[in-house]
Amino acid sequence: MKKVLCLLLIVLLSSTISFEKAAAVQLSYYGSGSYVDYAPVEPLDGIKFYVDYSAISKYGSGAFSSAFDWNGNYSANVAMIAQYPASWSSYPTSFLIQVSTTLLNGVYGDTYYFNAAGTCINPYYTFPMDQNGLYKCSIGLTSREHLFWKNGSVCSEYLEKTIIHEVGHVFLLKHPANVNYAFSVMNQGLPNNSTIASSVTSLDRWNITEKWGY
Amino acid sequence: MKRINKMIILSSVLVLLSIIFAFVLSSQEEYEVVNIQCDRMVFDTLSEIEDYAVIVAEVAAEEEQGQEVSSFFDYELKKELPSGGYTKRDMTITKVYKGDIEVGDKLVFLHDYYIWTYDDGRKQLITLSGFKPLQKGEKYLVFLQEEYKKGEYSSAGDYLGLYPVDTINDYLKAPESADFSYIYDMYQVDNMEKIISMYDDVVRKYHKD
């Protein structure tokens, strides 16, 4: 009887572990890529951003500190956010955050990845987050502030969600493949109460630690 | 004299052929495609896109009319880097389902891809869009949103707001063999379920008899 119970316990534990592993695989959305060793800024050293005049004049300075939302009890972090009126030339290695006047309607923000030669990375059929050779990123925000409106004015929750989302891409997180099951700030769109979070969730942090370690 | 004339004619033909060959080659040039990650408005159902779109129509794609590109000067790399852009293309309305337009009207379609040329002459096609550049002469069912300039529009929901008529017809006949090659492969991996679900609804409502 004891042997049977032990066996049942082992089977139960194994299937639980398999289920959790399968669930974990389904809910992982970090890229397999990396920044080069000589990248001046990268997640484990602390990402540094510079927010330029276009972004500050459009949206003010308050929202950008939301990027620090990614920080937690793990190594990868946002180390600094310099802002206009400081000059970007004083922080030349920082990743730029700016307003992009060519983003079409319906696009809240985007993230570019460059190698050390300043070439955009992302060979066809792959994601840039799966590429090695990443050197720097830049983030663009829409110039159409009405996309962030709630009751006629810019809603900070909406704006901050986009900022945090794009910074997540700098950490090499992708959009979750299974959008129906992942409550994540990395899902596209404005926050809702079911799948699109307005800030970093526990699942997002799990992905950060899976990617970059503790 | 006759021999010289023959030489002149032969040289002219060779030069002309070279020019034609170079033109044909350049128009068929394949660029490395770079897909930019973005956060965009999403739609879960066809009715959401229909409600949001200001125009729902069948259109014939025409010529590209140039592009708008933005860039920034990177202080560390000391060069201009791309930061965004889009390509303009004329479209002619061939059927109207919604909107203040008529068959035969022209509009300008903005598609968020552009060609970036580096200092060394290399080119990349940089795109935020999940669907490839439209083909001139092809017909598409489109759900359009307004852009800044009057008369300019873009697809609501990106690839969820655009359906090649040929693919709709293929899907109607045999869903499993419909050609989705107009969408970049990475979107097939991520969002095929949503695309198929939309096709089911689009075919039911808009298919050609």
DSSP string, B68-126: EEEEEEETTTTEEEEEEEEEEEEEEEEEEEESS--TT-EEEEEESEEEEE-TTS-EEEE
A-to-B residue pairs, Cβ atoms closer than 8 angstroms: 139
Query: Does A209 score more than 90 pLDDT?
Result: yes
Alpha-carbon torsion, ordered B70, A141, A88, A66, to 10 deg: -170
Q: Residue B22: which H helix or E strand, with range?
A: helix B2-27
- Chain A interface includes B157 (CB < 8 A): yes
Number of helices (H), then strands (E), in chain A: 4, 7
- Chain A interface includes B112 (CB < 8 A): yes
Q: Are B72 and A118 in contact (CB under 8 A)?
A: no
pLDDT tens string B139-179: 999 999 999 999 999 999 999 999 999 999 889 888 888 88
| Parallel/antiparallel/unpaired status of strands B106-111 and B79-98 | antiparallel
- Chain A interface includes B189 (CB < 8 A): yes
C-alpha distance from residue A186 to each of A182, A203, B58 (Å): 9, 10, 33
Between chains, do A89 and B75 touch, taking CB under 8 Å as contact?
yes
Between chains, do A112 and B116 touch, taking CB under 8 Å as contact?
no
pLDDT tens string A32-46: 999 999 999 999 999
Tell me the pLDDT band of A15, cut-offs 50, 70 and 90. low
| Parallel/antiparallel/unpaired status of strands B106-111 and B113-117 | unpaired
Phi, psi for residue B102 in degrees, rounded to 5: -130, 160
Between chains, do A140 and B84 touch, taking CB under 8 Å as contact?
yes
Sequential DSSP letters for A132-153: S-B-EEEEEEES-GGGGEETTE
For residue B186, the chain A residues in CB contact (below 8 A) are 125-127
Which of A92, A114, A169 faces B37 most closely, judged by CB atoms?
A: A169
What residue has token string 């630690």?
A209
Query: Does A170 score more than 80 pLDDT?
Result: yes
Residues 10-39 of B with CB under 8 A from A: 32-39
Tell me the pLDDT band of A2, cut-offs 50, 70 and 90. confident
Query: Does A19 score more than 50 pLDDT?
Result: no
**Nearest-CA neighbor of A63 among A53, A55, A74, A75?**
A55
What distance in Å separates residue A213's CA from the closest CA in chain B?
Answer: 24
Query: Does B40 score more than 60 pLDDT?
Result: yes
| Parallel/antiparallel/unpaired status of strands B113-117 and B123-127 | antiparallel
Residue B207: exposure state from Cβ atoms within 10 A (0-12, 13-18, ≥19): middle
pLDDT tens string A130-159: 999 999 999 999 999 999 999 999 999 999
Q: Are B108 and B89 in contact (CB under 8 A)?
A: yes
For residue B188, the chain A residues in CB contact (below 8 A) are none
pTM, two decimal places: 0.87
Between chains, do B41 and A189 touch, taking CB under 8 Å as contact?
yes
What distance in Å separates residue A141's CA from the closest CA in chain B?
Answer: 9
